[in-house]
Amino acid sequence: MKKSHLLPLALTMGMSLALAGTVHAQATPQVELTPEHFKQLDRNGDGGVSRDEYEAFMRESFNKLDTDGNKRLSKAEASAVLSAEQFDAVDANNDGELTLDEFIAHTMRDFDRHDYDGDGVLQP
């Protein structure tokens, strides 16, 4: 298996959210990171997605998913973007809910894993 085109989990989640929130035309389970998607994450338009941009997007994603506003994601709330297995992986303390800290900790690990050259920026 080549890993080159594998998406960070968080990007997949974020893109699913972005798609769910706006255009609902093509709800593909495995979202490709198209240039359009990348532009949504690249807020300052410098052609790369920095840690700050990534984290900001994930915080917004968390808040969108938290439909009852209790600052935790239940499995049901996260089910739009996370499989049960993914949920368990993000739920570090296994209490059945995701806090923002758990969510960000996981998505930023994803970021680092995909930042191959370690410069703190994801390139398209």
Cβ proximity to Ca ion, 25 vs 78, nearer residue: 78
HEC profile of 46-98: CCCEEHHHHHHHHHHHHHHHCCCCCCEECHHHHCCCCCHHHHHHHCCCCCCCE
Binding mask 61-90 for Ca ion (x = CB under 5 A): -----x-x-x-x----x-------------
**How many beta carbons lie within 10 A of that of residue 98, not counting itself?**
26
Cβ proximity to Ca ion, 25 vs 76, nearer residue: 76
CA torsion through residues 72, 76, 79, 82, sign:
positive
List binders of Ca ion among 4-63 (CB under 5 A). 42, 44, 46
Residue 95 makes contact with Ca ion by CB under 5 A: yes
Name the residues that contact Ca ion, by CB under 5 A: 42, 44, 46, 66, 68, 70, 72, 77, 91, 93, 95
